[in-house]
Amino acid sequence: MEIVRTPAPPSGVRRLLWRLPIHFYRWRLGALMPRRIMLLTHIGRTSGRTRRAVIEVVERGPDGYVAASGFGPRADWYRNVLKTPDVTVQVGRRVVPVTAVPLTREEGAELMARYGPRHPRTARRLCSIMGYAVDGGVDDFRAVGERTPFVRFVPREGGSG
């Protein structure tokens, strides 16, 4: 694994395109979005206002959804959920109240080591977005996972995952 560049959130037209799926959810067209794309509704850490971000689901199971902070620990959504972890996610039409729980570096490494071989093209694309060049091997994916902040969104009482 080689660090090619430090990822920066998109700006300009690229930012508009990146945020387009948020509008699909607002227009109640979330069912048209792939199941690997979820809408995260969270609270701004300084403003206290409702914020939305569309993030990619890396893993889903009975214990919730897992997403990576592709722009690192400085991503706004990541910093916001660390401060106020009770958030809501929407996948398709399903809205689930969840609690954001950061994964350890070791858990992130193992998650990417599983994910990479199962979804090689998508994993290489995600790594590229995050600024890493990988050869597609498990060790490379594990190294990326150690350096990437991951969050598990665990369903709260009254919700379902």
pLDDT of residue 64: 95
Average pLDDT of the residues in 134-152: 93
- Rounded CA-CA distance 56/107 in Å is 18
Look at strands 37-43 and 86-91 and give their pairing.
Answer: antiparallel
- CA distances 87 to 42, 54, 84, Å, are 5, 13, 8
pLDDT in tens, 34-77: 778 899 999 999 999 999 999 989 999 989 999 999 888 989 99
Rounded to the nearest integer, the mean pLDDT of the chain is 87
What are the DSSP calls for 16-56, one per residue? HHHHHHHHHHHTT-GGGS-TTEEEEEEE-TTT--EEEEEEE
What are the DSSP calls for 85-141, one per residue? -EEEEEETTEEEEEEEEEPPHHHHHHHHHHHHHHSHHHHHHHHHHTTEE--S-HHHH
pLDDT of residue 102: 98
* Higher local confidence (pLDDT), 101 or 12: 101
Map out the domains of the chain with their CATH numbers.
2-155 (2.30.110.10)
pLDDT of residue 2: 60
Average pLDDT of the residues in 111-124: 93
* Strand partners for 97: 88
Do 98 and 64 touch, CB atoms closer than 8 A? yes
- Rounded CA-CA distance 84/21 in Å is 23
Task: Work out the pLDDT band at 129, boundaries 50, 70, 90.
Answer: confident
Q: What pTM value is reported for the model? A: 0.83
pLDDT of residue 158: 64
* Higher local confidence (pLDDT), 62 or 102: 102
pLDDT of residue 33: 76
